[in-house]
Structure 1
């Protein structure tokens, strides 16, 4: 009998602990008023700081985590370390989902960062010489964007295909050479090549001026608009809707226009 009573007490204790644990977990979820967003330094962090008061006015705390590459923000979002991220366009997100098996979704397009070919050694596209070297980012979607832009300018011809690399070039009258590197490294590589395609966020952060150093600027294309991304199923949550409302506000639009003066173009 004593043994049965002892076992009964132990089981009762386990049930109580289990019940308390479940109750605590639900309460934490219900009271979670922090929105954690991953981004790059420019314009992500600057823009999020600008709209932080709007998010706080809705009763939420904003935590911004800055990443210096294009891989970790999606990994962190997929793993639940972030509620959302802001650094990529939809084609990049779709390629990441395909390669990594993630289930991340585009919530809202915000702004366009026209991809630009920069040079400190050539004053114009026409000044590119035979055998000049051009640096490209090594991520598939932005590398393809860059090569297609060169093709539209008449410098090369490329095979058909959604994603292309320098190996797909079939005509290259100027014998241009290409090197690939991580996007964050391209500003430092610019001095070692004749020209480099540098994503706007890294160019602005490095003080590289499109008006002074840009020799080829892509036309505005909303296909490549930077987006808010979240995990699938979270896009209609209150957190994400509060974030979306702040980032598509008049204050957000005015900040982008005043701070970046056409280098970054809001589309909301």
Structure 2
């Protein structure tokens, strides 16, 4: 009798555990009924608002969480406070993953924001005076990107082969003795009047009312810095993630980007 009773209890316990496991697997990221997506303020947020609108029509609720910096969206995603994020280039993403030991993966490309050089004092990079102070982002990846931009503009020459990993210490030639000042990416538009020129990420430039194609005195040529959608490794095959990607890379979103940003933001898929 005891053996029969024990067997019955064990069977019930296994059934309960199996039911719980099956429920978690089925619900996935939509366990709470919505996807929580991290973005930076400005164009990324605008695009995601359109994605959310289209997603709602398909029965997918998206909650946007806006950030004013480049670090916290990845930290929040890694810690489970977000389901995915959409705001960063692949070189920056790789750097963050390595530096902070994050277990995040890229699942899709989104858009490209050409970085530009801006100035309140000159209208052409050729008019910058000897010894001019030039601002650039302080985070490693965007700093390297800005230095490559300065090289494209003919302001400096970098040591060969470093690419986005270049730092101000890797400037091989600086014939006009420019002084390079590293500043917080999000704050550069507000500090533009304090330097002679500065490299600004387009999302922050546009957030400050600047139009990259019109207001920059030099803009990135043939950019390979496509932004991406990132998730935790464990969620890369989640059905909700694929649904989100399909909506983001839809013709409706492509049209929205083209009409809204007029070339200042370019689709990268």
TM-score, length-scaled by structure 2? 0.87
Q: Tell me what 2:63 maps to.
A: 63
Cα separation, 1, equivalents of 2:21 and 2:196: 57
> Which residue of structure 1 aligns with residue 105 of structure 2?
105
Query: What does 1:25-44 correspond to in 2, within 5 Å?
Result: 27=23, 30-31=26-27, 32=31, 33-44=33-44
TM-score (norm 1): 0.87
Segments ≥4 residues shifted beyond 6 Å = 19-26
**1:66-85 → structure 2 map (5 Å cutoff):** 66-85=66-85
**Using the alignment, how far apart are the partners of 1:53 and 1:170 within structure 2?**
49
Question: Residue 22 of structure 1: CA displacement?
Answer: 9.2
**Which consecutive unaligned segments of at least 5 residues does structure 2 have?**
1-8
1:207 to 206, 209, 222: 209
Q: CA RMSD in A?
A: 2.2
1:92-111: CA deviation from partner (whole Å, max 9, x where unpaired): 10001110111211111111
> What residue in structure 2 maps to residue 257 of structure 1?
258
C-alpha separation in 1, matches of 2:268 and 2:213: 21
Q: How many residues align?
A: 253
Q: Distance in 2 between matches of 1:99 and 1:261?
A: 35
CA drift at 1:85:
0.4
Q: Summarize the Cα distance change of 1:49–1:25 in structure 2 as closer, same or farther, 3 Å threshold.
A: farther
How far off is 1:216 after superposition? 1.1
**Alignment-derived partner of residue 191 in structure 1:** 193
SS in 1 for 2:235: coil
After superposition, the C-alpha distances for 1:150-208 in whole angstroms (9 at most, x for unaligned) are 12332212223241111221211111001111111111110111111111111111101
Distance in structure 1 (CA, Å) of the matches to 2:185 and 2:16: 48
The 1:21–1:233 alpha-carbon spacing in structure 2 relative to 1, beyond 3 Å, is closer
Of the candidates 214, 218, 243, which is equivalent to residue 216 of structure 1?
A: 218
CA distance in 2, matches of 1:68, 1:30: 34
Whether the 8 Å CA contact 1:120–1:213 is kept in 2: the answer is no
Distance across 2 between alignment mates of 1:251 and 1:227: 18
Q: Does 1:153 align with 2:153?
A: yes
Q: Is the 8 A contact 2:213 2:219 kept in 1?
A: no
CA distance in 2 between partners of 1:147 and 1:45 (Å):
27
State the match for 1:172 in structure 2. Answer: 174
